[in-house]
Amino acid sequence: MSRLEPLSEEPTNEENNKKSKKGQSWRNWLKNQFYPLFNKKSDLKILLSVLGCPLFPISLHPKQPIVQVASSAQYIIQHYTAATACRKLEGRVKSIYAIGKVKMVMVEELASSTSTATTASAPHDGCFVLWQMVPDKWLIELVVTEHKVIAGSDGNVAWRHTPWLGAHTAKGGVRPLRRALQGLDPVTVAAVFSTADFMGEKRMWDEDCFALKLSLGDTTLTERSDSTADIIKHVIIGYFSQRSGLLVHLEDSHLTRIQSPGAHPIYWETIMGSRIEDYRAVDGVMIAHSGLSTVTLTRFGNNVKAGPQVTRMEETWTIDDIVFNVPGLSMDCFIPPEEVRNEYQEDLDWRSPLHR
DSSP result, 31-55 = HTTSGGG-STTTHHHHHIIIIISPB
Q: Where are the domains of the chain?
A: 6-327
Q: Which helix (H) or strand (E) holds 192?
A: helix 186-192
- For residue 155, the 8-state DSSP code is S
Kindly give the pairing relationship between strand 124-133 and strand 137-144.
antiparallel
Residues linked to residue 316 through DSSP beta bridges, in sequence order: 103, 292
Q: Over its length of 356 residues, how does the chain's per-residue pLDDT go in tens digits?
A: 333 333 344 444 444 444 444 444 444 434 443 433 444 556 888 899 899 999 999 887 655 444 444 588 999 999 999 999 999 888 899 999 999 999 999 987 655 545 555 667 789 999 999 999 988 999 999 999 889 999 999 999 999 998 888 888 888 788 999 999 999 999 999 999 988 999 999 999 999 999 999 999 988 898 888 878 899 999 999 999 999 999 999 999 999 998 888 888 889 899 999 999 999 999 999 999 999 999 998 888 866 666 677 889 999 999 999 999 999 999 999 999 988 888 766 665 544 454 44
Separation between Cα atoms, residue 130 and residue 96, nearest integer Å: 8
Rounded to a whole number of angstroms, the CA Rg of the chain reads 20
Look at residue 183 and give its three-state secondary structure. Answer: coil
Q: What is the pLDDT of residue 325?
A: 95
pTM of the predicted structure, to 2 decimals: 0.84
**Burial of 84: CB neighbours in 10 Å, binned 0-12, 13-18, 19+:** buried
User: How many C-beta atoms surround the C-beta of residue 219 within 10 A?
Assistant: 7
Beta strands in the chain, from DSSP E residues, in sequence order: 95-111, 116-120, 124-133, 137-144, 147-154, 158-162, 166-169, 197-204, 207-215, 229-241, 247-258, 266-282, 285-300, 309-324
Find how far residue 262's CA is from the centre of its chain.
31
